[in-house]
Amino acid sequence: MRMFLKLGLLALMSGTLALAESAPKADRPDRWITTKATIALLTDDNVTGTRVNVETVDGRVTLRGKVETTADRSGAERITKTVEGVTQVRNMLRVMPDKNKQPTNIEDAAVSTSVTAALESDGSLKDSQIRVQSVSEGVVLLAGGASSLSALLRAIQVAVGVSGVRRVTSEVESPDTLTDRQAETERDSEAATADRSEG
For residue range 111-162, list pLDDT tens digits in order.
999 999 999 999 999 999 999 999 999 999 999 999 999 999 999 999 999 9
pLDDT of residue 199: 52
Among 101, 117, 142, residue at a domain's last position: 101
Please give the tally of structural domains in the chain. Answer: 2
Do 151 and 120 share a domain, yes or no?
yes
Do 115 and 191 share a domain, yes or no?
yes
pLDDT of residue 99: 75
Do 111 and 179 share a domain, yes or no?
yes
What percent of the chain has pLDDT above 70? 74
Residue 133: domain span: 104-199
Q: How far apart are CA 106 and CA 3, in angstroms?
A: 79
124 φ/ψ angles, rounded to the nearest 5 degrees: -75, -10
The pTM assigned to this predicted structure is: 0.75
Q: Is residue 77 part of a domain?
A: yes
User: Is residue 59's pLDDT more than 60?
Assistant: yes
Local confidence band at 97 (pLDDT 50, 70, 90 cut-offs): confident
- Give the mean pLDDT of 98-102: 72
Q: How far apart are CA 190 and CA 59, in angstroms?
A: 13
Do 163 and 109 share a domain, yes or no?
yes
- Give the mean pLDDT of 69-96: 95
Partnered with residue 130 across adjacent β-strands are 144
Q: How far apart are CA 42 and CA 159, in angstroms?
A: 10
Do 111 and 160 share a domain, yes or no?
yes
| Number of C-beta neighbours around residue 91 at 10 A | 15
Q: Is residue 7 part of a domain?
A: no
Do 133 and 96 share a domain, yes or no?
no
pLDDT of residue 7: 43
